[in-house]
């Protein structure tokens, strides 16, 4: 069986996730990480990382975390019902890494905190993603 991050990367082919260059890189018992480049796909015209790209990264990690921790063999779908974020610093370098972990893991509603840091470890954006599992 493929590792979870490999499976997530496979199912994201030909989607917004792949188009933004987002790659899942690591996972644990109740957390997930992904990396996104800082390049022409994710930047504003002035070269700064676009806040909307950060929000897409956060929702991607939050939704994938809820999805990967559902019981195998059960039919379910995960829908993001709210995402919010605070951009606290401009990203530097060539990529950012998002790490998501659960604040609340209910049967039907889950809340994931996603911290996005640049390659120097500086906190760039803090997000909260609320998912509904149906």
Contacts of 21 (CB under 8 A, 6+ apart): 36, 37, 39, 41, 42
Among 6, 33, 59, 82, the active-site one is 59
Q: Is the Cβ–Cβ distance between 89 and 123 less than 8 Å?
A: yes
The answer to whether residue 59 is catalytic is yes
User: Bridge partners of 97?
Assistant: 35, 117
Listed residue (19, 24, 117) closest to 63, CA to CA: 24
Question: Assign residue 83 a region: left if phi > 0, alpha if psi is -120 to 50, beta otherwise?
Answer: beta
List the catalytic residues. Answer: 59
């Amino acid at each position: 069986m493929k590792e979870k991050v490999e499976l997530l990367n496979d199912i994201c082919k030909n989607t917004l996730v792949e188009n933004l260059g987002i790659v899942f890189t690591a996972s644990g018992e109740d957390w997930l990480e992904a990396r996104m480049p800082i390049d022409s796909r994710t930047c504003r015209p002035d070269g700064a990382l676009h806040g909307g790209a950060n929000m897409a990264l956060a929702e991607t990690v939050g939704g994938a975390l809820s999805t990967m921790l559902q019981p195998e063999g059960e039919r379910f779908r995960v829908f993001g019902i709210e995402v919010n974020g605070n951009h606290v610093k401009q990203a530097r370098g060539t990529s950012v890494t998002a790490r998501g972990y659960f604040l609340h893991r209910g049967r039907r509603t889950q809340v994931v905190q996603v911290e996005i840091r640049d390659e120097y470890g500086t906190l760039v954006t803090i997000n909260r993603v609320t998912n509904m599992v149906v």
